[in-house]
Amino acid sequence: IVPCYNEQEALPIFYEESTKVLAGMDCEYEFLFVNDGSKDGTLELLKEFAKEDTHVTYIGFSRNFGKEAAMYAGLEQSNGDYVVIIDADLQDPPELIEEMYATLLEGEYDCVGSRRVTRKGESKIRSFFARQFYKIIRKISQTDIVDGARDFRMMTRQMVDSIISVKEYNRFSKGIFAWVGYRTKWLEFENIQRVCGTTKWSFWGLFIYAIDGIVA
Ligand code: UDP
Ligand code: MG
């Protein structure tokens, strides 16, 4: 599941890189792109990919609803035995998918998540507020919300179905992923800069998201 908002620059690179990884794996796979009301050429690119590659499907929103809505729609539409959520800007290394899959096949875990252990390359102010947010939410919530955890993860069908059954309206997926339980293994990696394009989050947007997280 790949949430996409104005990713026309990053998408071709993402598609190529992740296809390399997936095609080399011993399993069937499918891309489910979610076009979150992009205003650039994202939708045209997705149409092209889908025309030429039967592994590609996409759904699209009538406007920009945000990454949370895009992830939820993707999870609802998904039907794989294992589901990965991954960003389109290559900040989530697709190579990790192989390791995630191998780990889940062993059967000990239901989810393999990813966690960046540095915030290198991110603005100091953003890092500062992000850390404060994690401090606060970890204090007020009994759910174990891991600092640096990304949405990038592979989950079993059973876990995905649990997540879909949570019908919260203002979703804070990092909380929901942890709240539904299940056994999660964490893979750690250093922060990677976006391959191209710019972040879709403004400071104010992140601030409102943090409030959503706390209230939820
Ligand atoms: N995204 C989305 N809708 C939005 C904002 C972002 O679908 O309203 C997607 C975006 O295209 C990317 C992922 O969510 O695939 C993460 O966004 P971004 O890289 O801008 O966030 P950052 O990594 O800066 O936190
Ligand atoms: Mg990013």
Stated pTM of the model: 0.93
The whole-number pLDDT of residue 195 equals: 85
Distance CA 172, CA 212 (A): 7
- Ligand index nearest the alpha carbon of residue 65: 1
Helix/strand/coil for 129: helix
Tell me the average pLDDT of the chain.
Answer: 93
Reference 56, options 32, 23, 76; nearest CA is 32
pLDDT at 91: 92
Query: Which of 5, 31, 75, 85 should be mutated for ligand 1, with most atoms under 8 A from CB?
Result: 5
Specify the ligand 1 atom closest to the Cα of 2.
Answer: 15
pLDDT at 202: 86
Cβ–ligand 1 contact at 74 (below 6 Å):
no
Q: Look at residue 73 and tell me whether its pLDDT is greater than 90.
A: yes
Q: Evaluate if residue 121 carries a pLDDT over 80.
A: no
Is there an atom of ligand 1 within 6 Å of 64 CB?
Answer: yes
Predicted confidence band of residue 60 (pLDDT cuts 50, 70, 90): very high
Ligand 1 binding pocket includes 91 (Cβ within 6 Å):
yes
DSSP secondary structure string, 68-119?
HHHHHHHHHH---SEEEE--TTSSS-TTHHHHHHHHHHHTS-SEEEEEES--
| Distance between Cα 199 and ligand 2 center (Å) | 6
Q: Could you tell me if 5 and 45 are in contact, meaning their C-beta atoms sit under 8 angstroms apart?
A: no
> Using a 6 Å cutoff on CB, does residue 9 contact ligand 1?
no
Confidence label for 36 from pLDDT (cuts 50, 70 and 90):
very high
Q: How far is the CA of 203 from the centre of ligand 1 (A)?
A: 13
